[in-house]
Amino acid sequence: MNSEPRAAVLRCPHKQPAALLPTRPWRFALVAFISGILLGHPMPMLRSAEEAAIKTLFLPKSPTAAAYVLARLSNKELIEAPRSEFVYVALLQRGGMERKIRMEALQGLAKSRGTTPLAELIAGIGDLDRKGEDAWPVLHELAALLLHNKSADLTPKRDDLDKLAKDAESPLGRQLGYAAVISADGSADKAWQQVEAEPGRLVDLILSVPLVRDPSLRASLHPKIEPLLRRDDAPELRQAAIAAISSVPVREMETFSMLAAMVKAGIERTTAVASLQRLARKAWPKDQAEPLLDSLLAYLKALPVEKRTEPEAINTFQLASDLASLLPVEKASAFGKKLGAIGVRVFVIRTIHEQMLYDTAKLVVEAGKPVEIILKNEDAMPHNLVVVMPNAAEEIGRAAERLPEPDAEGRIHVPNSPKVLYATKMIDPGQQAKLSFTAPEEPGDYQYVCTFPGHWMRMLGTLAVVKDVEAYLADHPATPPPIVTEWKLADFEADLQQIAAVGRNLASGRESFAKLACVQCHKLGKEGYAYGPDLTDVLKRWKGDRAGVFAEILEPSKVITDRYKHHTFELVDGDEISGMIVKEEGGDVTVHTGPSDALIRQLKHSAIKKREAQGSSLMPMGLLNQLTKDQILDLFAYVESGGNIPAHEHNH
């Protein structure tokens, strides 16, 4: 295919549906009829909708007309459409698609055009960039795919990435280009030198820093970004530096002090408040909390009442509330009452990038009072927030995994259960959702959870409904947020060699094994469930290669054996299931769809329309990032022990 149709296909506009809809044969019939008109041979109207639905979907040769036809399909119908170059483009650019679908689209386009998935990804990003703000949610998702590539893979495409950084129409597109260029170079020096004399381009480069995945690369930019915080003569550069500095993991307490001083002086207050909220909580000095709180309260009191629910005020209220938790109980209670007197009970919860976690583990609200939760998805995958009854998170999470269709409000993976109280829709990366409701009248520890399949085990928090918020906070001091470390194999190589010689706390390892939900998917000794690999003799199978086993934990998708590959099955009746193939013999396939004997299904070959192996593991990458080094080594020692803890260890 020549380059002109390719470019036209990539530029085809198409409407994104508001929600997933169940497949309807009449819709396929209508689309097929429209296709017929565009092709010049309309379908006879006497043909039944059911018959039309199973016919091949004819697409016009014109890219624009084909895009129009495909835009009329719901997401589910588009996924079911016969594959072609036009369909792959639509799958890549459509909102609400799972990562595996986008990967399939990239591979399909690469095969069709004789290129590579990475080349098609860069081209697709460039095309979406030209579609305006409506395409930004998908751009965020493609950004995650691009930046997951290794430096060695990105380097041959540096010229294309540099062109994206310079020529993209949207700020997001330019920032993504610079983040990829920095990742390809393994350094920011070259890119910085190229744009240092051009303030507009330098702003884009600075704002790209939070997108760079390698923390050491981000840290190396501190000497370049920090001086810009004092550039009174260049407000755009200063604002970009304020926004980016919180993602630079070095001298963070100094960063807090500088940002706090800006907030108190009213310098770029909105940007500085947002940056402070993104700064790691371990860097918040307790001795600076009260002066900053005084400044925030004075600012909020001066705001007109009608402006106190606007985003800028809500972020300020949230920062003040978080700072109050650093104070002694009496002062925290006093500040809490002052905040309650001037504002509404609004909470902002963010998702932590690539951690499958909310950044807030507990919310405290007054029984029977209005509550507003704003969920900001800063991760690379879709998430939602569902408020459930006490101790119902697991039940609802497991039920959500078996839901193929949206509910009446267009929310996917939200079970129809009286234990589900309130829920947002699934929101894409870079988007946010607001949940407004009245807190239950009955006090108790309710829960909030993400019900995207597999997320409920880690992505949950407590909604404490109490009669007196201040009294509760006084009796329940805030728990410091966990320290998140992006561990690498090099951090443990020496320790792993000595793990047998150094006494480890196996009881602590067993606790982490349960806390991280490993026990739900892995058998270890007499505990756990063998959905994933049995870990009882894992060191024996790896011939004592501790580093090899540890690397598998840190990068679970790097190598996946055939037995534990996840497959998606599209069935003839329109249903879709996913799981691991336990065995295949005769005319049957036995599929394990989840960590339970009740989730084993037998499928007839004749019932399977299509199957596809997935390239990623069900195990999240950042599983160990909230553990200390000792906890990780204890966990590893526990795994190496095969789950056998000496009797005296149980008392640790």
What pLDDT sits at residue 34? 41
In this predicted structure, the answer to whether residue 36 has a pLDDT above a threshold of 90 is no
Q: What is the dihedral of CA 257, 260, 262, 266, to 10 degrees?
A: -160
Locus of tokens 């430096």: 151
Secondary structure (3-state) at 191: helix
In this predicted structure, the answer to whether residue 388 has a pLDDT above a threshold of 90 is yes
CA distances from 248 to 196, 245, 280, 532 (A): 19, 5, 10, 36
In this predicted structure, the answer to whether residue 345 has a pLDDT above a threshold of 80 is no
Cα angle, residue 99 at apex, residues 396 and 618 outer, rounded to 5°: 55
In this predicted structure, the answer to whether residue 420 has a pLDDT above a threshold of 60 is yes
Identity of the amino acid at 220: S
pLDDT (tens digit per residue) in 152-198: 999 999 999 999 999 999 999 999 999 999 999 999 999 999 999 99
CA nearest to 462, candidates 475, 445, 442:
445
In this predicted structure, the answer to whether residue 63 has a pLDDT above a threshold of 70 is yes
What pLDDT sits at residue 46? 36
The dihedral built from the CA positions of residue 442, 444, 449 and 451, taken in this order, carries a sign that is: negative
Mean pLDDT calculated for residue range 466-495: 80
At residue 43 the predicted structure's pLDDT band, cuts being 50, 70 and 90, is very low
CA nearest to 451, candidates 487, 488, 493, 403:
403
- Segment among 41-50, 114-123, 547-556 with least mean pLDDT: 41-50
* 49/625: higher pLDDT: 625
Q: What is the average pLDDT value for the chain, to the nearest integer?
A: 82
What pLDDT sits at residue 582? 87
CA–CA gap between residue 80 and residue 575 (Å, rounded): 11
Mean pLDDT calculated for residue range 288-306: 90
Q: Which neighbouring-strand residues pair with 434?
A: 374
- Segment among 138-142, 465-469, 616-620 with least mean pLDDT: 616-620
What pLDDT sits at residue 585? 86
In this predicted structure, the answer to whether residue 649 has a pLDDT above a threshold of 60 is no
CA distances from 40 to 27, 58, 60, 68 (A): 20, 11, 9, 16
- Segment among 166-180, 188-202, 385-399, 443-457 with least mean pLDDT: 443-457
pLDDT (tens digit per residue) in 229-243: 999 899 999 999 999
* 618/413: higher pLDDT: 413
Rounded to two decimals, the pTM is 0.57
Structure tokens at 404: 């193929």
Range 489-560+619-651 classified under CATH 1.20.1530.20: no
CA–CA gap between residue 443 and residue 347 (Å, rounded): 19
Percentage above 90 pLDDT, the chain: 35
CA–CA gap between residue 527 and residue 393 (Å, rounded): 22
CA distances from 78 to 24, 28, 31, 635 (A): 12, 10, 11, 44
What pLDDT sits at residue 616? 66
In this predicted structure, the answer to whether residue 271 has a pLDDT above a threshold of 80 is yes
Number of H helices, E strands in the chain: 30, 16
Structure tokens at 63: 């890219």
In this predicted structure, the answer to whether residue 426 has a pLDDT above a threshold of 50 is yes
Q: Which neighbouring-strand residues pair with 588?
A: 585, 604
CA nearest to 460, candidates 409, 364, 367, 391:
391
Cα(first)–Cα(last) distance of the chain, in Å?
68
CA–CA gap between residue 55 and residue 149 (Å, rounded): 39
CA nearest to 360, candidates 236, 518, 481, 477:
481
| CATH architecture observed for domain 562-613 | Roll (2.30)
CA–CA gap between residue 582 and residue 75 (Å, rounded): 30
pLDDT (tens digit per residue) in 247-257: 999 999 999 99
Q: How many CB atoms lie within 10 A of CB 609?
A: 14
In this predicted structure, the answer to whether residue 329 has a pLDDT above a threshold of 90 is no
Largest CA distance in the chain: 82
In this predicted structure, the answer to whether residue 584 has a pLDDT above a threshold of 90 is no
In this predicted structure, the answer to whether residue 77 has a pLDDT above a threshold of 80 is yes
- Segment among 15-19, 313-317, 475-479, 638-642 with least mean pLDDT: 15-19
Structure tokens at 126: 């460039």
pLDDT (tens digit per residue) in 98-156: 888 898 999 999 999 999 999 999 999 999 999 888 888 888 889 888 988 889 999 99
At residue 606 the predicted structure's pLDDT band, cuts being 50, 70 and 90, is confident
Structure tokens at 567: 């497959």
CA–CA gap between residue 500 and residue 503 (Å, rounded): 7
Please state the φ and ψ torsions of residue 337, each to the nearest 5 degrees.
-65, -40
The structural domains of the chain, with segments of one domain joined by +, span 3-236, 489-560+619-651, 562-613
Structure tokens at 152: 């060695």
